[in-house]
């Protein structure tokens, strides 16, 4: 959950907007994957190499936004929680609020109603897609 992202107060995945590259650098799969790895580390503390991320789904918002979603390799929930807690503590020690104020782990769309508060429109389709692929 976040208070300071493009969708404040809603459950969402780590992510961010990608700015067009400058100079001769292409906006290609490699650049998108690299950006996704940076966002994952900045928002959860999980340091995952860009090459380990797999593009899993593209979503289209009613507002014209395109979401390119990546799947990280499985990690233990306890390890992810530790990464997040350490990141949040470090941010607070610097006098800053962490970008996400809490995290939750869901394995299927049936668990989404258990999240307290609203969520972004792409959350359910991505959770549905990943639960079918990862759970099979």
User: Is the residue at 4 inside a domain?
Assistant: no
pLDDT of the residue at 47: 94
**Reported pTM:** 0.85
Tokens standing for residue 9: 């107060």
Characterize the bridge pairing of strands 54-60 and 66-71. Answer: antiparallel
Candidate from 28-37, 40-49, 121-130 with smallest mean pLDDT? 121-130
Which of 100, 124, 118, 44 has the alpha carbon at shortest distance from 77? 44
- Give tens-digit pLDDT for 43-87: 999 999 999 999 988 888 778 888 899 999 988 999 999 999 999
If one counts the domains in the chain, the total is 1
**What is the C-alpha to C-alpha distance for residues 26 and 118, in angstroms, rounded to an integer?**
35
Domain that holds residue 80: 29-134
> Residues 5, 101: contact at Cβ < 8 Å?
no
User: Is the residue at 90 inside a domain?
Assistant: yes
User: Is the residue at 44 inside a domain?
Assistant: yes
**What is the C-alpha to C-alpha distance for residues 48 and 114, in angstroms, rounded to an integer?**
28
User: Is the residue at 14 inside a domain?
Assistant: no
Instruction: State the maximum Cα–Cα separation within the chain, in Å, rounded to a whole number.
Output: 46
Q: What is the mean pLDDT of the chain?
A: 88
pLDDT of the residue at 39: 92
């Amino acid at each position: 959950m976040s208070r300071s992202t493009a969708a404040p107060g809603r459950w969402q995945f780590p992510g961010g907007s990608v700015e067009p590259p400058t100079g001769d650098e292409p906006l290609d799969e490699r650049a998108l994957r690299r950006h996704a790895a940076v966002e994952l580390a900045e928002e959860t503390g999980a340091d995952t190499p860009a090459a380990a991320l797999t593009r899993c789904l593209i979503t289209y918002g009613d507002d014209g936004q395109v979401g390119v979603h990546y799947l990280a390799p499985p990690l233990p929930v306890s390890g992810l929680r530790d990464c997040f807690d350490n990141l949040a503590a470090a941010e607070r020690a610097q006098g800053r609020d962490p970008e996400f104020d809490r995290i939750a782990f869901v394995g299927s769309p049936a668990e989404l109603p258990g999240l307290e508060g609203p969520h972004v429109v792409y959350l359910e389709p991505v959770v549905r897609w990943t639960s079918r692929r990862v759970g099979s």
